[in-house]
């Protein structure tokens, strides 16, 4: 092909060992600038030049592209941290720092492809994270036992970790598309195997009442917490975030609007995740009895602690010195109490089905139970009532009632 410029190719010119071209575009900040394209042949550059023209007609075009690492740092600090929950920031930041930046960080954001993301996820599943993160090397020399001494422990990421890393990248690239730095979200086009959850059989009413009876007999300072978890289906953070202002003893209601969360190195007392999570819940007699017992226990703890007592938020469930309870500790204490009562251990979050059966056994009215369980249809609540009306269930609750002073 001759060195003459073709018709309409005034901005294509020889450059080093090939050709270059530019198009005047409007940047995201509203200013005008040249956008360049390079190639070894005129035909290649001409095609890129035409694509740039088409891109410029659609809207603003970025002339300088950041690397994946640079954009992710901006996304975490300017988008995630000020706008999302602290726990979300901690989760995203961990995925970016440990799993995304070490592999995809140096790549240019606009040149990231579906193939890059797929190869990254495939490789991530085969990389020992103890080796990659230097976990064993951070230990004292005398305590090193695997990767740092040449014996790889093959600590590969789980499916759940890989999915979380892909989701973090997808969320970041979604924002990059919104800011018109890239044209499409390549991470959303890559599928990852969905992690399988192991199903755990929840406690029966008999098992739950046996657990509560044992806790009441031992004067457990968390007895009221276990009652609220099992009878109202409250989440761990919601129970720990309750304050005495949340309880109306006269009307028999509990207002759930705060939670305790561990976010990195901080324990936060903050609002629940969504407005839909906030609600006034009716308190069955057993719950009211347990809360009164807890109030008396806390008054005793306050006197015993004296000047060491801390009363930051007026929390119902605290340590012996009035400080918030670590969420992870509540989970461990629940497992410890279950073993002590001779029961099989289930996750604390796996108690909601048991909650519905307990409400039936406590003879809570179906409409009240519907409100507590947050069922959209009364028919769903009635199905629960039909399943849990055995005499054995009633007898179990009778024993529990006797253990806490005769309250049904």
Contact of 405 with 219, CB cutoff 8 Å: no
Find the CATH number of the domain harbouring 245.
Answer: 1.10.443.10
Do the domain assignments include residue 232? Answer: yes
Rounded to the nearest integer, the mean pLDDT of the chain is: 82
Is the confidence at residue 108, as pLDDT, over 80?
yes
Which residue range forms the structural domain that includes residue 233?
205-403
Q: Looking at the structure, do residues 51 and 78 belong to the same domain, yes or no?
A: no
Q: Looking at the structure, do residues 77 and 97 belong to the same domain, yes or no?
A: yes
pLDDT attached to residue 342: 92
pLDDT attached to residue 402: 56
- pTM, two decimals, is 0.67
Do the domain assignments include residue 408? Answer: no
pLDDT attached to residue 162: 94
Do the domain assignments include residue 7? Answer: no
Count Cβ atoms below 10 Å from residue 298 Cβ, excluding itself: 21
Q: For residue 383, give the 3-state DSSP assignment.
A: helix
Q: Exposed e or buried b for every residue in 82-109, given b needs 16+ CB within 10 A?
A: eeeeebbbbbbbebbebbbbbbbbeeeb
Q: How many domains does the chain have?
A: 3
Which pLDDT band, with edges at 50, 70 and 90, does 33 fall under?
A: confident
Is the confidence at residue 130, as pLDDT, over 50?
yes
Q: Looking at the structure, do residues 215 and 163 belong to the same domain, yes or no?
A: no
Is the confidence at residue 3, as pLDDT, over 60?
no
| Average pLDDT for 101-121 | 93
Paired tokens of 194: 């969905």
- Which of 132, 156, 189 terminates a domain? The answer is 189
Q: Looking at the structure, do residues 183 and 54 belong to the same domain, yes or no?
A: no
Do the domain assignments include residue 104? Answer: yes
Cα separation, 213 vs 363, in Å, equals 18
**C-alpha separations of 261 from 127, 300, 329 in Å:** 31, 26, 12
pLDDT attached to residue 264: 72
Q: Looking at the structure, do residues 210 and 277 belong to the same domain, yes or no?
A: yes
Cα separation, 8 vs 136, in Å, equals 62
Contact of 145 with 136, CB cutoff 8 Å: yes
Contact of 362 with 369, CB cutoff 8 Å: no
Question: Residue 42: in which H helix or E strand, if any?
Answer: helix 42-58
pLDDT attached to residue 337: 93
Provide, rounded to the nearest whole percent, the portion of the chain with pLDDT above 90: 29
Do the domain assignments include residue 360? Answer: yes
pLDDT attached to residue 8: 45
Q: Looking at the structure, do residues 117 and 223 belong to the same domain, yes or no?
A: no
Which ranges of 125-157 does DSSP label H, i.e. alpha helix?
Answer: 129-132
Bridge partners of 108, per DSSP, are 67
Q: Looking at the structure, do residues 27 and 123 belong to the same domain, yes or no?
A: no
Is the confidence at residue 278, as pLDDT, over 70?
no
Do the domain assignments include residue 197? Answer: no
Contact of 134 with 90, CB cutoff 8 Å: no
Q: Looking at the structure, do residues 127 and 210 belong to the same domain, yes or no?
A: no
Do the domain assignments include residue 20? Answer: yes
- Which of 40, 58, 76 terminates a domain? The answer is 58
pLDDT attached to residue 119: 95
Q: Looking at the structure, do residues 157 and 238 belong to the same domain, yes or no?
A: no
Is the confidence at residue 37, as pLDDT, over 90?
no
Q: Looking at the structure, do residues 147 and 291 belong to the same domain, yes or no?
A: no
Contact of 190 with 121, CB cutoff 8 Å: yes
Which pLDDT band, with edges at 50, 70 and 90, does 252 fall under?
A: confident
Which pLDDT band, with edges at 50, 70 and 90, does 7 fall under?
A: very low
pLDDT attached to residue 392: 46
Q: Looking at the structure, do residues 32 and 101 belong to the same domain, yes or no?
A: no
**C-alpha separations of 161 from 34, 146, 156, 195, 288 in Å:** 42, 22, 10, 9, 41
Which pLDDT band, with edges at 50, 70 and 90, does 116 fall under?
A: very high
Is the confidence at residue 405, as pLDDT, over 80?
no
Cα separation, 215 vs 170, in Å, equals 46
Q: What is the largest CA-CA distance in the chain?
A: 101
pLDDT attached to residue 9: 47
Is the confidence at residue 136, as pLDDT, over 80?
yes
**Each residue's pLDDT tens digit, 62-77:** 666 789 999 999 999 9
- Which of 189, 219, 237 terminates a domain? The answer is 189
pLDDT attached to residue 1: 44
Q: Looking at the structure, do residues 180 and 258 belong to the same domain, yes or no?
A: no
**Each residue's pLDDT tens digit, 139-168:** 898 889 999 888 899 999 999 999 999 999
Cα separation, 281 vs 234, in Å, equals 10
Which pLDDT band, with edges at 50, 70 and 90, does 114 fall under?
A: very high
Is the confidence at residue 406, as pLDDT, over 80?
no
Is the confidence at residue 387, as pLDDT, over 60?
no
Do the domain assignments include residue 50? Answer: yes
Is the confidence at residue 399, as pLDDT, over 60?
no
Angle (CA) 232-234-236 rounded to 5° is 150
> Nearest 5°: phi and psi at 215?
-65, -40
């Amino acid at each position: 092909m001759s060195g003459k410029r073709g018709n309409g190719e005034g901005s294509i010119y020889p450059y080093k060992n090939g050709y270059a071209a530019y198009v005047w575009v409007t940047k995201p900040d509203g200013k005008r600038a040249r956008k360049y394209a390079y190639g070894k042949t005129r035909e290649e550059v001409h095609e890129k030049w035409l694509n740039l023209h088409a891109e410029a007609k659609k809207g603003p075009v970025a002339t300088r592209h950041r690397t994946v690492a640079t954009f992710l740092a901006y996304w975490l600090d300017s988008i995630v941290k000020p706008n999302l929950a602290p726990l979300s920031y901690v989760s995203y930041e961990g995925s970016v720092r440990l799993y995304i930046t070490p592999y995809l960080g140096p790549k240019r954001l606009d040149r990231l492809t579906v193939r890059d993301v797929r190869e990254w996820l495939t490789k991530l599943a085969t990389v020992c994270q103890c080796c990659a993160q230097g976990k064993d090397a951070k230990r004292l020399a005398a305590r090193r036992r695997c990767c740092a001494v040449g014996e790889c422990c093959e600590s590969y990421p789980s499916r759940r970790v890989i999915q979380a890393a892909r989701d973090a990248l997808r969320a970041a690239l979604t924002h990059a598309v919104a800011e018109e730095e890239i044209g499409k979200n390549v991470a959303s086009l890559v599928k990852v195997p969905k992690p399988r959850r192991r199903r755990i059989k929840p406690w029966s009413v008999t098992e739950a009442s046996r657990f509560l009876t044992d806790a009441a007999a031992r004067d457990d300072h968390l007895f009221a917490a276990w009652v609220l978890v099992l009878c109202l289906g409250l989440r761990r953070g919601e129970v720990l975030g309750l304050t005495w202002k949340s309880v109306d003893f006269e009307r028999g209601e509990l207002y759930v609007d705060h939670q305790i969360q561990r976010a990195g190195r901080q324990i936060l007392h903050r609002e629940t995740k969504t407005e839909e999570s906030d609600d006034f819940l009716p308190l069955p007699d057993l719950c009211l009895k347990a809360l009164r017992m807890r109030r008396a226990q806390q008054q005793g703890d306050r006197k015993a602690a004296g000047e060491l007592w801390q009363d930051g938020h007026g929390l119902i469930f605290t340590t012996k010195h009035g400080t918030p309870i670590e969420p992870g500790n509540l989970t461990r204490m629940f497992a410890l109490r279950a073993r002590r009562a001779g029961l099989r251990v289930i996750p604390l979050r796996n108690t909601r089905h048991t909650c519905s059966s307990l409400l039936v056994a406590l003879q809570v009215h179906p409409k009240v139970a519907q409100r507590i369980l947050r069922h959209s249809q009364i028919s769903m609540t009635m199905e629960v009532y039909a399943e849990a009306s055995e005499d054995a269930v009633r007898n179990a609750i009778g024993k529990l009632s006797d253990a806490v002073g005769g309250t049904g």
